[in-house]
Amino acid sequence: MCCHSTRWRTGFSPASTRQSQSHQSSCTVLLPLTLSDLEGLPLGCSIVGSRCSRQQLQAHLQPWLQQASGFDLLLLLAATRTAEREGISAAGATAASRRLTALADADLLLHGPGQLRRWSLPPLPAGVSPALLSHVALQRLPMQAVVAAMGLEHEATFPHLRLESPQAGPARCLSTGRAMDPERVERLWRQGMRLGAQLRRPLLLAECVPGGTTTAQAVLTALGVPVKGLISGSARQPPQELKRHLVKQGLHRAQLPAWPSPQVVLAAVGDPFQAVAAGVLVSAQQPVLLGGGSQMAAVVALALASLPDQRRKALAHRVLLGSTAWLAQERICGSDMPALGCLLDEVGQRFGVSLAGLASGLRFHASRQLALRDYEDGFVKEGVGAGALLLLAQLQGHHSEALLEGCERALDELLASAVASEV
Q: Is residue 102 part of a domain?
A: yes
Domain assignment present for 6: no
Cα–Cα distance for residue pair 185/179, rounded to 1 Å:
10
Neighbours of 174 (CB within 10 A): 32
* Model pLDDT, residue 334: 63
Q: Which pLDDT value is given to residue 32?
A: 42
Closest CA to 143 of 91, 188, 203: 203
Check if the beta carbon of residue 219 is closer than 8 Å to that of residue 301.
yes
Q: What pLDDT score was predicted for residue 67?
A: 79
Residue 143: what pLDDT? 92
Q: Is residue 412 part of a domain?
A: no
The verdict on residue 313 lying in a domain is yes
Domain count, the chain: 1
Which residues constitute the domain of residue 256? 28-403
Instruction: Specify if 17 maps to a domain.
Output: no
Is 55 domain-assigned? yes
Record the pTM: 0.89
What is the CATH number for 151?
3.40.50.10210
Looking at residue 229, its pLDDT comes to 85
List of the chain residues with pLDDT < 50: 1-35, 419-423
Cβ neighbours of 202 (radius 10 Å): 22
State residue 2's pLDDT score. Answer: 32
Q: What is the structure's pLDDT at 420?
A: 39
**Any residues with CB less than 8 A from the CB of 26 and at least 6 apart, and which?**
236, 237, 378
In a domain, residue 382? The reply is yes
d(CA 50, CA 310) in angstroms, rounded, equals: 22
pLDDT confidence of residue 349? 97
Does 201 fall in a domain?
A: yes
